[in-house]
Amino acid sequence: MKTKILIFLLFTIVTSMFAKCQSSSSGQNDPWTQQQLLDPADLAKVLNDPKSVQPIVFSVGMQAVIKGSIDIGPAMKADNLNTLKEKLSKLPKDSQIVIYCGCCPFSRCPNVRPAIALLKEMQFSNYKLLNLPQNIKVDWIDKGYPMTD
Amino acid sequence: MKILILFVALLLFESTILTLSAQSTGLEQGNKTPEIKLSNTKGDTVALSSLKGKLVLIDFWATWCAPCVAEQSELAKLYHKFNQSVFTNGKGFEIYGVSLDAKKTSWENFITTNKISWIQVSDLKFWRSPVAKTYNIQALPFNILIDGNGIIVAKNLHGVELENRIAKFLRK
């Protein structure tokens, strides 16, 4: 009996952990790899240290919230994606680039995929997607990371 | 064996608490809601407190939030159904829509196109809106139902659950 209870409990835990992983990570068909996800804490550290090499940060969402980021506008719109393309065309292919939106979880965000797909298509080699699993408020603003004025 | 079961149970308990706290807003049922004073599309300030005496649904949403947009037609039905109703805890039903949009044109166009007739306010500050901070909003859509005294009577209910909760307060 005890063994059965134990098996049941272990099964429940494994299932719940699996469900959590599913909800927090991105889908299998996303155009980015796990290695291309940048931890917000790491970006905040770099932005707060003027001696660090600063990446070029593009906001492809509703509003540029992160300090020093360039406001492209929602990348789901063709004209905004063209603006991003124009700006990228002036940069060396190995530029350190960070993309973020932060409106919603990745599963619902309409903006990060077109932007990342564009970077891939243009053969940039050193770009990251800021890992904001929930949104820019929870994963950046609430943590007190640097913001635009 | 008992220790192992206890350990496993504790782990389960902890994961449940973590999940719940992630959805918590810091405002619980029975608490009075903080004041909100924001502008409507015409630029006139509409205070939440001006709706005192009514049953009010504070709906936090944005045009960029797909589930929020999908919910607006359901809110319209509730609004027309209960607008003139008398409740045990308020006279009339009102919706106070707080948008976390960033661009006025998107917000205004959506309201006009969808003929939204209830109160709509925004500071157009996206997730940087002080209201999002005050109400500790973690995700959209999010709503709070308050009674005539501004006391929270329900939190984040949607669809049939929301309709049933409102109907529960109808004066018979």
pLDDT recorded at residue A9 = 55
Helix (H) or strand (E) holding A100: strand A97-100
Reported confidence tier of residue B7, pLDDT bands at 50, 70, 90: low
Contacts with B4 from chain A: Cβ below 8 Å: 6
Task: Collect all residues of chain B within an 8 Å Cβ-Cβ radius of residue A110.
Answer: 64, 66
Which residues, numbered 49 to 78 in chain B, qualify as contacts with chain A under a Cβ-Cβ cut-off of 8 Å? 62, 64-67
Q: Which residue stretches of A39-99 are H helix? A: 40-47, 78-89
- The three-state secondary structure class of A56 is strand
**Local structure of A76: helix, strand or coil:** coil
**pTM for this entry:** 0.83
Give the model's pLDDT for residue A48: 97
The answer to whether the CB atoms of A141 and B128 lie below 8 A apart is yes
Residue type, A121: E
Q: Is the Cβ pair B127, A137 closer than 8 Å? A: yes
Instruction: Tell if the CB–CB gap between A13 and B5 is shorter than 8 Å.
Output: no
Q: Per this entry, what is the length of chain A?
A: 149
Residue A5 has a pLDDT of 59
Structure tokens that stand for A3 in this block: 């063994």
Specify the CATH architecture of the domain A25-143: 3-Layer(aba) Sandwich (3.40)
Is the separation of the CB atoms in B158 and B166 below 8 Å?
A: no
Q: Where are the domains of chain B?
A: 27-168
What pLDDT, in 10s, does the model give residues B91-117?
999 999 999 999 999 999 999 999 999
- Residues sharing a CB contact under 8 Å with residue B160, sequence separation 6 or more, in sequence order: none
Q: How confident is the model at residue B172 (pLDDT cuts 50, 70, 90)?
A: confident
Q: In this structure, what token pair is assigned to residue B79? A: 């609004």
Q: Is the ipTM of this complex over 0.90?
A: no
Interface membership of A10 toward B (CB under 8 Å): yes
pLDDT at A121: 97
Q: What is the pLDDT of residue A149?
A: 86
A133 touches chain B (CB under 8 A): no
- Inform me whether the C-beta atom of residue B11 falls under 8 Å from chain A C-beta atoms: yes
Q: Which residues contact B92 (CB under 8 A, 6 or more apart)?
A: B53, B54, B55, B83, B84, B85, B86
- CATH fold group of domain B27-168: Glutaredoxin (3.40.30)
Cβ neighbours of A10 in B, within 8 Å: 8
Q: Tell me, what DSSP letter sits at residue A148? A: -
3-state class of B167 per DSSP? helix
Cis peptide before B141 (omega within 30 of 0): yes
CA neighbor of B124 nearest in space, from B95, B96, B97, B98: B98
How is chain A split into domains, by residue range? 25-143
Which DSSP string corresponds to B15-54?
HHHHHHHHH--S--TTSBPPP-EEE-TTS-EEEGGGGTTS
Query: Which residue type, as a one-letter code, is found at position A130?
Result: L
Ranges assigned E (strand) in chain B: 37-39, 45-47, 55-61, 86-87, 90-91, 93-99, 119-122, 142-146, 152-155
**Sheet with A70-71: strands ordered across:** A37-38, A127-130, A97-100, A56-59, A70-71
- Chunked into runs of 10 residues, chain A (149 residues) has average pLDDT values of 59 51 57 96 97 97 97 97 98 98 96 97 98 97 96
